[in-house]
Amino acid sequence: MASSSFPSGQPVFRFAPSPNGRLHLGHALSALTNERFAARMKGRLLLRIEDIDRERCTPVLEQAMRADLDWLGIVFEPEPRRQSEHFADYGAALSVLQGQGLIYPCFCSRQQVRAAVAAQEGACGCSWPADPDGAPLYTGTCRAVEPTEAQARQPAGEAHVLRLDMTRAIAAAGDGIGYDVIDEAGEALRVKARPTRWGDVVLARRDIPTSYHLSVVVDDALQGVTHVVRGRDLEAATDIHALLQRLLGLPTPFYHFHELLIDESGRKLAKSRQSESLADLRAQGVTAAAIREKLGFA
Ligand code: GLU
C-alpha cells in the first residue's frame, strides 16, 4: 500500500463509534478495515467515543461497546478520546466560525421547518430540494433575522440551533474544496466537495452545544488523524467536513469509504433497526475468528 503524503510521520487511523446502541457487524467491518489499513501502513489506531448525545449515549453502552471490540481482538492505543469531555474544543471552533460571520441562530422548530418547506412547495408547485440524507434543505427563514433581534432572543433563552450560512461559508472558503480518497491499495484520487447540497447545516444542536459534523472535524485534527476510514453512508457528509476544515484552517485527512453491509431486506445494518448485535452473535456461540472470517479479515 502506498504510504501517505500527509505532512509528517506515521499515519493515524481512528474508529469512532457512538455508544447509543449495541455494535453490529457493520461496526465490526469498519473497525476491522481501520485495523487492516493501520497494520498495512504501520499506522497508529485510535478509538474515539462519539458520545455528544448525552441522552442516547450511556456509560453502560460504552462499556458494552468496548467489550465487543476487545472480544474482536482489536487493539487501540490507550486512552480513547471521549467527545463529551471536550465540549470546550467544539465551542472554540464555533467561535472561530462566528468570528467570520458564518453562523446564525435558528429559532425554527422542526414543525416550523416542515411548514416552511410545504409553503415553498405550494408556492412553486415543485418539490423542495433535499440533502443527500433525504432531509429537506433549510428554507433560510432565520437567516433573515436581524442580528440585533437574534442577539436579544438568544439570552432570553429561546431554544435555537446554530446554523452555518452555506453561501457565505463557500464565499469565505474559496475554490478548490475537496479531499483525497484512497482505495484498498492506498492509491489516492482527488474528489471535489459539493457542500452546497447540504444547505445551512446545523453545527450546534438545541440541546447539545455541538454537532456530529463540527466535533468530528475538530477531533480528527486534534488527534492528528491522517486517514479517516468509514462507511459509504458518511461519504456525502465529507463535503461538509472538507469545508469546515478549510474554514478552520485544519488539515484534511485522506478518506476511505468501505461498502456497507445490508440485511435480508436490502437495507443497511443499523442500531435503530435493531440489527443483530455482536453480543447476540457471541451469545449464539459465534467466535470472533468466525466474524473476522465472515467479513474477509481471516
Ligand atoms: N460516530 C459515527 C457513527 O457511529 C462515525 C463517525 C465517523 O467515522 O466519522 O456512525
Which parts of the chain register pLDDT below 70?
1-8
DSSP 182-247: E-TT--EEEEE--GGGG-S-EEE-SSSSS-HHHHHHHHHHHTT--EEEEEGGGTTTHHHHHHHHHH
CB–CB of 263/112 below 8 Å? Answer: no
From the CB of 17, is ligand 1 less than 6 Å away? yes
Neighbours of 250 (CB within 10 A): 16
For cell 453545527, the residue is 203
Residue found by looking up cell 479531499 in the block: 179
- Considering only CA atoms, which of 285, 265, 269 is closest in space to residue 277? 269
CA distance 92 to 98: 10
Angle at 186 between CA 185 and CA 187, to 5 degrees: 95
pLDDT score of 3: 39
d(CA 22, CA 275): 9
Q: Which candidate, 283, 284, 281, 239, places its Cα nearest to that of 27?
A: 281
Residue of minimum CA distance from atom 4 in ligand 1: 17
Distance 152 CA to ligand 1 centre (A): 35
Measured between alpha carbons, how far is 273 from 84 in angstroms, rounded to an integer? Answer: 25
Contact status, residue 193 vs residue 243, Cβ threshold 8 Å: yes
Probe target for ligand 1 pocket from 234, 238, 254, 258, with the most ligand atoms within 8 Å of CB: 234
Gap between the Cα atoms of 274 and 23, Å rounded: 10
pLDDT, tens digit (0-9, with 9 covering 90-100), for 118-168: 999 999 999 999 999 999 999 999 998 888 888 888 777 789 999 999 999
Specify whether the CB–CB gap between 251 and 185 falls below 8 A: no
Burial class (CB in 10 A: 0-12, 13-18, 19+), 230: buried
Q: Residue 1: its pLDDT value, please?
A: 38
pLDDT for position 148: 85
Q: What is the predicted pLDDT for the residue at 8?
A: 65
Distance of CA 18 from the midpoint of ligand 1 (Å): 7
Does the beta carbon of 182 lie inside 6 Å of ligand 1? no
* pLDDT, position 147: 81
End-to-end CA distance of the chain: 19
Output the pLDDT for position 146: 85
Three-class DSSP category at 181: strand
Grid coordinates standing for 140?
433560510
